Amino acid sequence: MDTVNTARDPAEIYDEFFVPALFEQWGPVVAAVAGVQPGDRVLDVACGTGALTLAVAEIAGGEGRVAGLDANPAMLAVARRKAPGIEWLEGTAEALPLPDESVDAVVSQFGFMFFDDPAGALREMMRVLRPGGRLAVAVCDAVDNSPGYSAFAALLDRLFGPSVGDAFRAPFALGDEGRLLEIAKAADLPAPEVVRKNGAVRFSSVAALVSTERACVWTLGGVLDDSQFEVLLREAETALRPFAARDGAVRFDMPALILAARKP
């Protein structure tokens, strides 16, 4: 069966399954919103295993300087193996280990909703930006705007109760333009804007999607036992059938909201 071994390191699972299924596609999109150019100095905050960092480094080129920062050393270990030439920093978004006005752009994708102090993190991003520099921070749009994940969340509610469904919904918590602008206002961001971009989720099968989500330590990791997982696998084949192609591959829309601002 096309399932994920949950005993493996979560960072390895993230990089092998979540990155190609969801996150890799967003690197060029976020970089474009941030206006990254060849030769730029760029910081990727909450870089994970480096999907966005690598995309930014390709644009910045040999004359640029790119760093990825994450609080999770296991994620950084995977990132370093993939790109030892990039500067990988361990730290939090609320206390960036960089001098004032030291980078041309700050980018971040799909980590902002997990920050302890989102407004404080934005203030730190603005601190390290040079005058005229730009930030772009991507979050998942509301789960209701991602039809496959919305159906999956409803299935979790039905099978195991709202607490399990809500655990899965955690990454979508900031998928609201008004809420993002409230946080930006609290951080005193100058003229913030929120843009919506379309993306897609792609898994090789329903089983691959379900088992990958079960292995995610930020949502369903450790929530379901083996017997519950078997029930979920069986029921998901029906619930997610509308999103499956003839070869069994699953695809559906997953848009993102990108908060952007420029330092005066």
Is the pLDDT at 1 greater than 50, yes or no?
no
Instruction: Tell me the three state secondary structure of residue 106.
Output: strand
Determine the Cα–Cα distance for residues 4 and 9; give it in Å rounded to an integer.
11
**With contact defined as beta carbons under 8 Å apart, do 131 and 263 qualify?**
yes
Would you give the distance in Å from CA 20 to the centre of its chain?
12
**With contact defined as beta carbons under 8 Å apart, do 139 and 180 qualify?**
yes
- Report, as an integer, the average pLDDT of 210-234: 88
- Report, as an integer, the average pLDDT of 161-176: 96
Q: What is the pLDDT of residue 246?
A: 95
The residue extents of the domains of the chain are: 10-262
Is the pLDDT at 8 greater than 80, yes or no?
no
Binned at pLDDT 50, 70 and 90, residue 72 comes out as very high
* Amino acid (1-letter code) at residue 228: Q
Instruction: Tell me the three state secondary structure of residue 196.
Output: strand
- Report, as an integer, the average pLDDT of 68-76: 96
Q: Which residue has the higher pLDDT, 2 or 41?
A: 41
Instruction: List the alpha helices (DSSP H) in 2-146.
Output: 10-13, 26-33, 51-60, 73-82, 118-128
- Report, as an integer, the average pLDDT of 9-20: 86
- Strands 87-90 and 103-109, bridge-based pairing: unpaired
Cα dihedral sign, 68-72-75-77: positive
Determine the Cα–Cα distance for residues 123 and 184; give it in Å rounded to an integer.
9
Q: Which pTM was predicted?
A: 0.94
- Report, as an integer, the average pLDDT of 153-177: 96
- Report, as an integer, the average pLDDT of 201-207: 95
Determine the Cα–Cα distance for residues 11 and 30; give it in Å rounded to an integer.
22
Look at the domain 10-262 and name its fold.
Answer: Rossmann fold (3.40.50)
Is the pLDDT at 5 greater than 70, yes or no?
no
